[in-house]
Structure 1
Amino acid sequence: MPGITAIENPRECTSIDEILRAVCFDDRYRRHEIVGDTDMFVGYTGYESYPVDVFEADEYTAAFEGYLYGTDAVEETIDDAATYIIDGEHEKLRQWIDGRDGDFLLLVADRTSGKLWVLNDVFGRLPTYRATVGETTVVSRELKVIRELARRLDVNLEADRLGVSQTLLFRYSLGTRTLFEGVERLPPGSLLDVETGAITALYKHRFDWFENRSHSTGENVRRLTELFLEACANRASVADETVVALSGGLDSRAVVAGYDHVTDRLSAATSAMKANDEGKEVTVARKVAKALDTDWNFYSVERSDRHLDDVLDFTQGMNNVWIANGLHFAELVADDHTHHTAMLVTGDGGDKAIPDLTCPRSVATTGELVTAIIDELSYFPIDTVSELTGIPEREIVASVRERVDSYPETNLDQKYAHFLVRERGINWLNHGEDRTRYHLWSTTPFYSTPFFFEAMACPPKQKRGTSLYREFLTGLSSTAVEIDYADFDAPITSFEYRAKRYAYNWLGDYPKLKNGVVALLKGRNNRSPGTRDVVRSITDVNKDHLGKDSVISKRQLGHLLNDDEEYSDDQLHLLLTILHAIADDRVVTRTTEPIL
């Protein structure tokens, strides 16, 4: 990932420039040194339009990655935060971050004391990693930097067995955990003292207050619409052009409708695999763009060997290679906008802010809630995960409960909502959106802090059955809301949609049946032409790179491969991703041979 790297006590490592060179992924990338001495190194990598700014003051040097939206006084705002950090005024810093709308990472180096701090936004929109390797502490936007540093210091970063188990179970590990022992993610809304490793939580999410329960649905929709348009305008103001990644769903539709109100420097782009270039998603997206009179471009994408290899090289196992077609889409959009700064805007966060996030089945205890989370959100069955990693099911369940117990909500349904935002949203979907930034900046108005928290303050009863979303989207575009929602083949204003939605919600009490129906409708067992290549690649890794002490059992993986027809394409791709990340060092340095 383009972005900031800080290394404290870098004297053990004499090859920092070579490490940064390893994350210059194409000829657009450059590496930059901001601070370089025997006690600390601060630098960054990125392409010309990637947003990193350096501010020099008498006491400090600050590196700011990303954007603050809705303020013209960026340097003064950064100076306030840096002063609060250096002076240890955490209460003022809490107020500062609470009022900030942005996707950012701020690093502050105090010239007098030699101390170094890192601050991120309340949603952790720019995933950042930290580790101590030998005597050297490193914080970086690039997991590859940490792995490359460890390799050069001859330190083996062991795979984290529980992190691997959680990733197989959900597609993402929980909390600050990663696939590697001793490598953690920076929690959202936190301040890290790099020297001591101390983390100060400056913002704690809580989703059970519902301050807007006394307002009518109409009043809440009017306020949400106002805040959403403001979020769109603030983001449009920092880009030469906005390109909305438009699908057949509701979230990206709301985004393109919102931007249509606030800017004329707007276009929409839709991608599909070559075999699906006339599928539902594309047809609906084309209709939405036409209804809004927005320029629309279609991109035919693929999961080529190069893009699969790129996903591994760029994200080091944090993105499933199954989404290599998404990386190809970002690349094509960036190639079409080389003459100016374009921003790719997604509907990320829309699935969290506006829908009803209540647990889809009734739960009376925390144990029942944990069971519901695993039943509803698991990717590989928990018994399969346990067999592959050797961790008993009860320990995996206990790790999920530990996370749930850490949430501040007293209402079990809202603990479920917290899991969806904190783990699924921040730990998984943020990483997916971050992938786009290898080629161009990406953001979403749904994670505008004023909008998101206003939406989360609306009571679940107003959100049920897509009712709040229907009114919200109608306010943005009465025409776009009447176009089919691709997932249901019907507009959300129709009786047909309400009937299908009711049936889908009813299935929530029967997770196995629900998963079977969804799999049938989505063609879960329809294999892509490259599936046999994936199976062969997993077989090769099992044969050549897994030993008897490997985190993933060589024997159990062999059993899974004997029944590979039981698993979907994306499950097999996830397994391949994890194996390549943990089995050997090929993922650290770009492979000379395709992974498939």
Structure 2
Amino acid sequence: MSIVAGVISEAWTSDLLLIKKEIAQHLSRNPTDIRHEYFDNHLYFCRVAIDCHRESSWAENHLRFSMVLGHTLMSSSLTQDVNTLLQQSLSNFPQLLAKAQGTYCVLDYNKQRRALTIFADSLAIRPLYYMKYKGSVIFSSCLRLFNELSVTLTTNLAGATEYAVIGYSLGNKTHYNEVYSIQPGEKLTLTSTSLVKERYFRWSDMPFNCIDDSEGTLQLDHAFKQAVDLAIGNDLHAISTLSGGLDSRVIVAELLKRGIKLECMNFSYQRSQDEVYAEVFAQCHDFPLHIVNVSDTQEQTVEQRLGHYWRSTQYPFYLQVERPRLVWSGNGGSVCIGMVFCDDQILAACASGDPFAVAKAYLKHQHAYIPKRMVKQGAKLQQQLELNIVECLCQYSHLPLDKAFQLFLWENDQHQHIAPALEDMDKFRLDFHLPFYSKAMLEVMFALPVSSAVKHQLYMKWLNQSYSEALLTPWQTYPGHLPCPLKNNLLPPLSQWQLASNVRNKLDLLKIGVSTLFDAKGEFYNRHYLGANCILTALGLHRGESTLNVVKRMNQVLKSPH
């Protein structure tokens, strides 16, 4: 994996030359990282190779260069894949990438045509951001970079509030008005005079509701094993996350079946289901589990924590792992295979055929409400959030509404699911095997009726059929989903996500609220309501932590108005 950024322009003014310098300076926050630079008076391209795969992701000849962020997984070899792309005509890329099972962003530059073409994977899991600037286009795999450049950025309030209450910005929005995100299956063509966007792949064009559960479980199992085959390559040792749930557990079960020597990491509240269920599973299957207790599981992603803790100085096993900066992760399993975030109320709204009802039901399920009195124009922004969800759903108007909602989650929630961890790749120098985002697995789930998949129904049929060893000890379940049938005397029925709000550091939230009163970002809030919330919460007369948490999340992405 690499991190990249650049500018394509017809005329290199002093402004652009300054931005070129700033890109090289700020792309990585590690000053010792080597900046590999290409400049031909049309394209400036800067990359920092993190080298998690221990293979080259770059190929070049006198006519073109190609590179891959992530791994296409057309084969097990990243170097083979990038050279295959370089040897092919650009017109053949969609056909080649149709077979790719990885998460990737492919960049190809034609030196004669002066054209940079960028292909996102089917969910755009590997982000790429871009903005137009004075006739040029600036692009980067890191959103944080734009704030370091000498360009004017303004807050996209819709994007910022979406991020604050549902965890991500919808569509191609970011929290800047000027910066956009590449979309699932999108192809961008950048020249010194134009930016052309088109979709070379759409999930909404794929077959749906065309297989039954029996065929679905067989195809899903084959697709999962194929994804692991491609990712594991020749590795004999591996590091994986392990939670109290099923997604990481099924990955571990498959790796153990293959005789892979394995160690796992768990980050959780002390004596939570997440910790205890992972520990019992590891004991049952006799492999080492390293538990790191944390006070707030929401403060950092598991991937970010891994980057901090998983070091050769702390774990002797590190030196045995062939690719120690590649970690197996269960991201995507719960949403794409188990269909969380799709409860009975949302299904009923889908059956009604009313996308507004679906949007309302989803926001209710997520408790996604903008504090209307505290945030300026809060009521208007809440209404806009609902309309934006409806707009996303209406992109798939030819599909049944439950299928449209399935794609809404894939192409929005999942599209940005690991972006926070990838933003910090220069710090943590970690990349991930993500088998649940395999295109073949997603094809199976889209081909199945939603009614077969919701509440982990098909997921559990698959595990009972193919991974019964994963079900020997208790596991975490989602509210309203199929329960764990095992008798459990280990813990009271309190799950990790239920604990999150109870253990959040109230004092830290109050500090954020009070400091916002005197900060330029306070302009976005009605300060008298914010102040009253802080006082009443501090005195224990009001439970304002959830509201203050929205302020905290908004502050992370707001651009000061001064």
TM-score, length basis structure 1? 0.79
**Match of residue 193 from structure 1:** 189
1:352 aligns with 2:327: no
The equivalent position to 2:432 in structure 1, one of 429, 442, 446, is: 442
Q: Return closer, same or farther for 1:69/1:278 CA change in 2, 3 Å cut-off.
A: same
Shift of 1:55: 0.9
Amino acid at match of 1:13: L
Q: Distance in 2 between matches of 1:108 and 1:404?
A: 32
Partner residue of 2:402 out of 389, 405, 413? 413
The secondary structure found in structure 2 opposite 1:322 is coil
Matches within 5 A, 1:427-576: 427=416, 429-432=417-420, 434=422, 437=425, 438-487=428-477, 492=483, 494=485, 522-523=498-499, 526-528=502-504, 530-546=505-521, 550-562=523-535, 564=537, 565-568=542-545, 572-573=548-549, 575-576=551-552
CA shift, 1:126, in A, is 1.1
Residue 283, structure 1, aligned to residue 276, structure 2: yes
Q: 1:496 to 1:463 in 2, by over 3 A?
A: farther
Contact residue 105 and residue 119 of structure 2 kept, 8 A = yes
* 1: CA distance, partners of 2:557 / 2:40: 32
- Letter matched to residue 330 of structure 2: G
Superposed counterparts of 1:250-265, under 5 Å = 250-265=246-261
Shift in CA distance, 580/465, structure 1 to aligned 2, threshold 3 Å: closer
Deviations 1:64-111 (A, max 9, x none): 22213251575564456457665xx3xx43322221111222211211
Q: Measured at CA, do residues 175 and 552 of structure 1 come closer, stay the same or move farther in structure 2, by a change above 3 Å?
A: farther
Counterpart residue type for residue 305 of structure 2:
H
Following TM superposition, by how much is the alpha carbon of 1:576 offset from its aligned partner in structure 2, in angstroms? 2.0
Q: CA deviation at 1:115?
A: 1.6
Provide the secondary structure at the position in 1 that maps to 2:130: strand
Q: CA deviation at 1:47?
A: 3.3
Query: Which residue identity does 1:473 align to in structure 2?
Result: L
Alpha-carbon deviation of 1:419?
A: 1.7
What are the equivalent positions in structure 2 for 1:321-400 lying under 5 Å apart?
322-323=299-300, 327-335=304-312, 336=315, 339=319, 341-342=323-324, 343-356=326-339, 360-361=344-345, 362-363=348-349, 364=352, 365-381=354-370, 383=372, 387=376, 389=378, 391-400=380-389
**Matched residue of 1:132: which SS?**
strand
1:34-113 matched pairs, under 5 angstroms: 34-49=37-52, 53-69=57-73, 71=75, 77-78=81-82, 81=85, 86=90, 89=91, 92-113=92-113
Q: Percent identity?
A: 15
* Alignment-mate amino acid for residue 245 of structure 1: T
Distance 1:379 1:518 in 2: 22
Shift of 1:551: 4.0
Pick closer, same or farther for the CA change 1:267–1:524 going to 2, 3 Å: closer
TM-aligned CA distance change 1:527 to 1:156, over 3 Å: same
- Quick one: structure 1 residues 110 and 263, their matched pair in 2 at CA, closer, same or farther if it must change by over 3 Å? farther
Pair 1:31-2:8 in alignment: no
Is residue 94–residue 200 contact of structure 2 (8 Å, CA) maintained in 1? yes
Superposition pairs of residues 584-595 of structure 1, within 5 angstroms: 584=560
Cα distance in 2 between the residues matched to 1:302 and 1:324: 13
The correspondence for 1:16, drawn from 14, 20, 43, is: 20
Superposed CA offset, 1:466-494 (max 9, x none)? 33222222334323213112347999562
* 1:123 aligned onto 2:127: no
Cα deviation, residue 457, structure 1? 1.7
Whether the 8 Å contact between 1:301 and 1:328 is mirrored in structure 2 is no
Question: Quick one: which amino acid aligns to residue 332 of structure 2?
Answer: G
- The structure-2 alpha-carbon separation of the partners of 1:446 and 1:520, relative to structure 1 and needing over 3 Å to count, comes to closer
> Take 2:446 and 2:374, find their aligned partners in 1: how far apart are those partners?
33
Q: Tell me by how many angstroms 1:116 deviates.
A: 1.5
Deviation at 1:417, TM superposition (A): 1.3
In 2, the alpha carbon distance for the partners of 1:534 and 1:159 equals 22
**Residues 376-405 of structure 1: CA distance to partner in whole angstroms, max 9, x if unpaired?**
224334746864657354333222211111
1:284–1:485 Cα contact (<8 Å) kept: yes
Where 1:30 maps in the other structure, the secondary structure is: coil
Count residues in correspondence: 532
Query: In the alignment, which of 189, 203, 206 is matched to residue 204 of structure 2?
Result: 206
**Structure 2 CA distance for aligned equivalents of residues 330 and 73 of structure 1:** 24
Question: Deviation of residue 185 (structure 1)?
Answer: 0.5
The runs of at least 4 consecutive aligned structure 1 residues that moved more than 6 Å come to 488-491, 517-521
Q: How far apart are residue 435 of structure 1 and its match? A: 5.5
Q: How does 1:147-186 map to 2 (within 5 A)?
A: 147-149=147-149, 153=150, 155-186=151-182
- Paired residue type of 2:498: K
Say whether the 8 Å CA contact 1:208–1:411 is kept in structure 2: no
Deviation, 1:20, is: 3.1
Residues 487-531 of structure 1, C-alpha deviation per residue, up to 9 Å, x if partnerless?
47999562879xxxxxxxxxxxxxxxxxxx999992465244x42
State how far apart, in whole Å, the 2-side matches of 1:468 and 1:30 are. Answer: 45
Instruction: Determine the C-alpha separation between the residues in 2 that align with 1:245 and 1:435.
Output: 19
User: Structure 1 residues 208, 98: CA separation in 2 closer, same or farther (over 3 Å shift)?
Assistant: closer
- Distance in 1 (alpha carbons) for counterparts of 2:439 and 2:459: 18
Shift of 1:432: 4.4
Contact 1:267 1:294 in 2 (8 A): yes
1:192 is paired with a residue of what secondary structure? strand
How big is the shift at 1:242? 2.2
Q: Is the 8 A contact 1:31 1:43 kept in 2?
A: no
Q: 1:219 to 1:452 in 2, by over 3 A?
A: same
CA deviations over 1:112-156 (Å, ceiling 9, x no partner):
12221212211212111111233442111111222212xxx3x32
Where structure 2 has 5 or more consecutive residues not aligned to the other structure, the ranges are none
Residue 242 (str. 1) matches residue 238 (str. 2): yes
Distance of aligned partners of 1:436 and 1:545 in 2 relative to their CA distance in 1, 3 Å threshold: closer
Q: CA deviation at 1:59?
A: 1.3
What RMSD, in angstroms, separates the aligned Cα atoms of the two structures? 3.5
Supply the distance in 2 between the matched residues of 1:430 and 1:82 (Cα, whole angstroms): 28
User: Displacement, 1:60?
Assistant: 0.6
The amino acid across from 2:6 in the alignment is: A
Amino acid of the residue matched to residue 512 of structure 2?
S
Cα deviation for residue 158 of structure 1 reads 0.4
Secondary structure (helix, strand or coil) at the match of 1:454 reads: helix
**Normalising by the residue count of structure 2, what TM-score does the alignment of the two structures yield?**
0.84
User: Offset of 1:179 from its aligned partner?
Assistant: 0.6
1:579 maps to 2:550: no
2:477–2:484: 8 Å Cα contact kept in structure 1? no
